[in-house]
Chain A
Amino acid sequence: MITGTLAGLGRATLALLAGLGAGAIFLARTLAAMLRPPFYAREFGHALLTIGYFSLPVVGLTAIFTGAALALQIYAGGSRFEAEAVVPSIVAIGMARELGPVLGGLMVAARVASSIAAEIGTMKVTEQIDALVTLSTDPMRYLTVPRVLAATLSVPVLVAVGDSIGIFGGYLVGTGRLGFNHAVYLQNTVDFLEFWDVASGLIKGAVFGFLIALTGCFYGMNSGRGAQGVGRATKSAVVAASVLILAANYLLTEAFFSA
C-alpha cells in the first residue's frame, strides 16, 4: 500500500522532470529558430491578429469588472481606517502592477494556449507537420516562432488596454456609487501612479505572452495520436500555461519588489 503510493509518487516526479526537460529543450529550439532566417512574416501577421486583436474583448470585459469590484473592496477596507480617499490610487496601482497582467494573462491563456495546442496538435495527428518538413519548411520557424513572437508583443498591449479599462471600471463605481468627485478621482489616479507600476505590469505581460504561446506550441507539437491525443494536449496546455503564469508572476513580483 505504502510502497504503491511511493512508487506512484516517484513515477509522477520522474514524469514531471522529464516534462520539464522536454520543455527546456523546446524552449532552446524555439530561441534558436528565432535567431536564424527565414522569418515567416505572413504567419506572424496572422498570429498577431488571432492572438492579440481577437483577445481584446475578453481582456476588456475581464478588466472592467475587476476594476469595478476592486474599487468596492478597497472602499470597504479603506473605510475601516478612514482612508476611503485611497480608492483611486490603489485601484490604479493594483490593476497596473498585478491584476491587469495576471487576470489578462490567464484569460489569454485560456483562449490562446488552448487554440494553439488544438491547431498544432491536429496538424500533428493529420501528418500536416510531417508534410511541412517534406516541403522543406521547419515547423519550429513556420509555426512556433510567429506565434511566440506575436504573443510576446501583443499581450503587453492587451495588458495596457486592460489596465486602462480596469481603471475606468473603478472610476465608474467610484464616481457613480461611492460618491467620489469626477475630477478628484482622476487627479488621484494620475498623481499617484508611477511609471514603474505600469512598466512592471507590461514586462509581466510580455513574459506571460511568451509562456502562453510556448506551452501551446509545445503541447501541440507533442500531441498524442488521434482526437483523444489532441484533447489531452489542449487541456494540458491551458493548465500548464496558467500555472506557469502564476509562478512567473510571483518570481517577477519578487524581483521587481527587491529592485
Chain B
Amino acid sequence: MIELDNVHKAFGPKKVLQGVTLHVPQGTSLVIIGGSGTGKSVTLKCVLGLITPDAGTIRVGGQPVGGTDRDAFLARFGMLFQGGALFDSMPVWQNVAFRLLRGALKRPRDEAREIAIEKLRRVGLKPDVADLFPAELSGGMQKRVGLARAIAAEPEIIFFDEPTTGLDPIMAGVINDLIREIVVEMGATAMTITHDMSSVRAIADDVAMLHDGVIKWAGPVAQMDASGDPYLDQFIHGRADGPIEAVR
C-alpha cells in the first residue's frame, strides 16, 4: 500500500533521511520508533508530499507521490500532526469538520457539525467542547481534537504523529484503543510515530526503528523483544548506555 524505497532528505548540510526503505501493506498498522530528531515526522511528510525527498521513490497504492490529481490523492489521507496544528481562527467543531465544510465532501453545516460532535465523542471529548476555540483547550485536548479531525472524513490511510505524547496514561490508553479500532473497523492503513512503548504494543502490527537516517530494524511487533538488535533493545528498555548516543 505504502512503499518507500531508498528515500533521502537533507536540510542544508543536515542529512536527515539517508536511504529509508519501508513497506506498509494495506490494512496494517506500522509504528515508527526512534529518538527525537531522527526524521520520523519528516518521513511522514514525505509520504504526504509536504516535503519533497532529494532522492528515492515513494508509492501509495502503486502510484508515485506528487502525481497529477493532488486533491484526490490527499483525500485518501488523514493526519494528526505532532503539535495538533489546529486552526486557531475557528472553533473546535469547524476544525474537526473542516473537510466536510468545503470542497468535494461538502455537506450542510448542521450535518457536518453533528458528525464533528460524534467524532469528538469518539476521542473522549464532550459536546460542549465543540464551540470552544483551540487556544482554550489543554494540550492533551488539542491532540484529541486533532485526532478527531484526522478521522472525520474516514480516510483509508491515517498518520498519527505522537498521538499520546502529553496525555495522561488513561487517556493514552483510550487513544491507543481508538487507533487500533480505526485500523480494524475501517480497514485503514496506519502509520504511527510514538515514543511510548505501551502504545507500540497496543497499536502495532509491525514496528520499524529509525536511526541515523535509515531503518535499523523492522519486523512484526511479536518479534520486537527477541530481535537481538542492540539499537532496538536499548530503545525499548530506555537505557542510557548502548550504541545510541544520549547526546545527539
Contacts and interface: CB of A to CB of B under 8 A. Distances in A.
A134 B87 contact: no
A137 B85 CA distance: 14
B102 A131 contact: no
Contacts of A134: 48, 50, 74, 77-79
A127 B99 contact: no
B83 interface: yes
B21 interface: no
Interface string A129-150: 0111111110000000000000
Given A128-B87, A130-B45, A130-B50, A135 B99 contact: yes
A131 B103 contact: no
B38 interface: no
A133 B85 contact: no
B69 to A, nearest CB: 11
B104 interface: yes
B48 to A, nearest CB: 6
Chain B interface helix/strand/loop/mixed? mixed
B104 A136 contact: yes
A133 B50 contact: yes
B102 A137 contact: yes
A130 B48 CA distance: 10
| Size class of the contact patch on chain B | 20 to 34
Contacts of A38: 102-103
Contacts of A135: 74, 98-99, 149
B85 A126 contact: yes
A131 B74 CA distance: 11
Contacts of B129: none
Interface string B79-108: 101110111100000000011001110000
Contacts of A132: 87
Nearest to B50: A130
B75 interface: yes
Interface string A63-107: 000000000000000000000000000000000000000000000
A50 B75 CA distance: 31
B185 interface: no
Nearest to A43: B89
Interface string A113-136: 000000000010011101111111
A40 interface: yes
* From A40, A126, A127, residue with most partner B Cβ within 10 Å: A127
Contact of B82 (A40, A123, A127): A127
Nearest to B104: A136
24 contacts: A38-B102, A38-B103, A40-B102, A123-B87, A127-B82, A128-B87, A130-B45, A130-B48, A130-B50, A131-B79, A131-B85, A131-B86, A131-B87, A132-B87, A134-B78, A135-B98, A135-B99, A136-B70, A136-B71, A136-B74, A136-B75, A136-B104, A137-B98, A137-B103
Closest 6 CB pairs of A and B: A127-B85, A131-B85, A134-B79, A127-B81, A136-B74, A136-B71
Interface of A: 38, 40, 123, 126-128, 130-137
Interface of B: 45, 48-50, 70-71, 74-75, 77-79, 81-83, 85-88, 98-99, 102-104, 149
Given A123-B87, A134-B50, A135-B99, 11 more contacts: A126-B83, A127-B83, A128-B85, A130-B85, A131-B79, A131-B85, A133-B48, A133-B50, A134-B78, A136-B99, A137-B103
